[in-house]
């Protein structure tokens, strides 16, 4: 589903799931996320927590990663949805999405992944990650602003619209498609898949900072390369 950006894609995934729960009379009201998520995830979840849902915000460990055991302990029979980002926008750490997906599946909870920072830097496949939805953004991979997308697993493809009207995106997002922006997004995807310059840039910035006297911080957690 093409959206105006990842903020809208995250809102669609999170609030859409809640709306689906209301429509189908699903009694589960538990939502779980991480304290290090982007505001585009935390804000809609906090809004939901003021409208009948119960939100658990888990801390991350010293290395910036969620502890899978802590995650498993937070998910219970009342958990409707879990939201865990693929790569953090400040530290670049990669959360164990496939592991989180297995935990969610075991409890019948949905897993939404904000993959804005991971997209274009590592493979993002719904089937491999095992999650139910993925939010991505064009301008974070060098494409134009004003477009993003929500990727939906087939069993989760009937998410109710946030923006209604016109029936576009099979009724999941009303409004005329921003075709020029979407074409630019596609061009950016093709280009970024072909290059890998961010890891080298990150290493350059870190070694320059250390040469200038910054304390080296060793991070063992998996990070974007």
Ligand X SMILES: *Cc1c(COP(=O)(O)O)cnc(C)c1O
Residues that bind ligand X (CB under 6 A): 5-7, 38, 40, 85, 89, 114, 116-117, 137, 140, 148
Least Cβ distance, residue 12 to ligand X (angstroms): 12
Q: Which residue has its beta carbon closest to ligand X?
A: 5
Least Cβ distance, residue 114 to ligand X (angstroms): 5
Least Cβ distance, residue 174 to ligand X (angstroms): 19
Instruction: Specify the residue, 40 or 48, whose C-beta has the smaller distance to ligand X.
Output: 40
Least Cβ distance, residue 140 to ligand X (angstroms): 5
Measured between alpha carbons, how far is residue 10 from residues 1, 49, 106, 172, 201 in Å?
11, 16, 23, 13, 28
Handedness of CA 35, 66, 160, 144 (dihedral sign): positive
Instruction: Specify the residue, 21 or 116, whose C-beta has the smaller distance to ligand X.
Output: 116
Instruction: Specify the residue, 103 or 181, whose C-beta has the smaller distance to ligand X.
Output: 181
DSSP conformation letters of 110-142: EEEEE-TTTBTTB---HHHHT-SEEEEESGGGT
Instruction: Specify the residue, 71 or 87, whose C-beta has the smaller distance to ligand X.
Output: 87
Contacts of 16 (CB under 8 A, 6+ apart): 159, 160, 161, 162, 172
């Amino acid at each position: 589903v093409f959206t105006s950006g990842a903020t809208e894609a995250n809102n669609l995934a999170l609030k859409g799931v809640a709306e689906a729960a209301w429509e189908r009379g699903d009694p589960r009201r538990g939502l779980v996320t991480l304290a290090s998520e982007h505001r585009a995830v935390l804000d809609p979840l906090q809004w939901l927590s003021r409208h009948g849902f119960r939100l658990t915000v888990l801390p991350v460990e010293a290395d910036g990663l969620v502890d899978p055991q802590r995650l498993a302990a937070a998910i219970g029979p009342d958990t409707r949805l879990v939201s865990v980002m693929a790569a953090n926008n400040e530290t670049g750490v990669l959360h164990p999405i496939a592991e989180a997906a297995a935990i969610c599946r075991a409890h019948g909870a949905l897993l939404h992944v904000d993959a804005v920072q991971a997209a274009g830097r590592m493979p993002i496949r719904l089937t491999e990650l095992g999650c139910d939805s993925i939010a991505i953004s064009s301008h974070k991979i060098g494409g134009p602003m004003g477009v993003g997308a929500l990727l939906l697993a087939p069993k989760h493809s009937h998410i109710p619209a946030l923006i209604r009207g016109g029936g576009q995106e099979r009724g999941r997002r009303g409004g005329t498609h921003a075709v020029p922006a979407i074409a630019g997004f596609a061009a950016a995807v093709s280009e970024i898949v072909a290059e890998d310059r961010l890891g080298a840039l990150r290493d350059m910035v870190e070694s320059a900072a250390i040469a200038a006297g910054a304390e080296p911080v060793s991070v063992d957690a998996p990070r974007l390369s």
